[in-house]
Chain A
């Protein structure tokens, strides 16, 4: 079946450093790729997304890049802050008629002050 692989599962950085989380997907028909941030005990919240007709998108300290040929997409967080500490999930739309999202297993990011 279709799946999304996410790496690394845990990531620890010093405050001010950059963090990169990478995902690969299997369905060549996927055309929508959102990223979610989930703080402990709370709901996942959409932080940025990208569609297949765009190679890169930026929103302040967060950016997402997409390589459709390689079926890779990545989340980049610059100048990390302690409040960036959370679990981050990538997702890809399933190319079937429903367009449902398939999620990666998550990356636990810890930003040390």
Chain B
């Protein structure tokens, strides 16, 4: 799994519901990222964290929230404020700036 695990693989959300996507890494890396992928849109950055207890908004943070209480964990909450949450969500880790990312296997979120 490249030292990074996402769960669940598939998630269904009802209208008005908050859901949390899990991302865990076991390589003691500081940097973690959340991306959203829609067909034809590439990868868009939602949030990132370079250190425990600190995180920054990416390009499309509205309707999402994160926490970084432990180095190994970076969960993403998709809130009811996110009006179009159906997408493929990818978490990534990196050993340092200017290094490649290793992605998790992704969570496919669908609104029902």
Contacts and interface: CB of A to CB of B under 8 A. Distances in A.
Chain A complexes with chain B? yes
Interface of A: 6, 9, 31-32, 34, 42-46, 49, 51, 89, 93, 98-101, 103-106
Given A43-B105, A105-B40, A105-B41, A99 B98 contact: yes
Interface residues of B, number: 21
A104 to B, nearest CB: 6
A80 B104 CA distance: 27
B98 A104 contact: no
7 contacts: A44-B43, A93-B97, A93-B98, A99-B96, A99-B97, A100-B45, A103-B42
Given A42-B105, A43-B106, A31 B98 contact: yes
B103 interface: yes
B100 A98 contact: no
Given A44-B43, A44-B103, A100-B33, 10 more contacts: A32-B98, A34-B101, A43-B105, A43-B106, A44-B90, A89-B43, A98-B97, A99-B98, A100-B97, A103-B43
B25 interface: no
Contacts of A93: 97-98
Contacts of A31: 98
Nearest to B99: A32
Contacts of B96: 99
Given A44-B90, A104-B42, A98 B104 contact: no
Interface string B77-112: 000000000000010000011111111111000000
Contacts of A43: 90, 103-106
B41 to A, nearest CB: 7
A104 B43 CA distance: 8
Q: Which of A43, A49, A99 has the most CB of B within 10 A?
A: A43
Nearest to A6: B42
